[in-house]
Amino acid sequence: MSTAFFVGQITVKDEDKWNEYRSKVPATLIPWGAELVFRGKQTQILPGASSHLHIVVIRFTSLSDAHGWHHSDAYQALVPLRLEAADVVGTIYEA
């Protein structure tokens, strides 16, 4: 079974709403056995370009768990808040 990672590249539009969204996401990860690997803010761009200043990486035990979490009722209930709070490019990787 392969490990999967959700990577979100983020541009925050409303700091208060973003903080509210961030505080609610961890509870949605629990049923999927996921681990928040890190959240960070860009400090320097090396060769190339990136328009997003923030990033999040979440580890899942399987690709199906990553997809299950993203499509779960618990996470989908947070999507409207996320859309108000930030522009997020989410990608799932298999390792």
Q: Give tens-digit pLDDT for 30-68.
A: 999 999 999 999 888 888 878 899 999 999 999 999 999
pLDDT at site 33: 96
For residues 80-88, average pLDDT: 98
Ranges of H-type helices in the chain: 15-29, 63-71, 73-76, 79-85
pLDDT at site 49: 78
Tally of residues, the chain: 95
Confidence label for 4 from pLDDT (cuts 50, 70 and 90): very high
Cβ(72)–Cβ(31) under 8 Å? yes
Domain 4-94, what fold? Answer: Alpha-Beta Plaits (3.30.70)
Is the pLDDT reported for residue 10 higher than 90? yes
Percentage of the chain surpassing pLDDT 70?
99
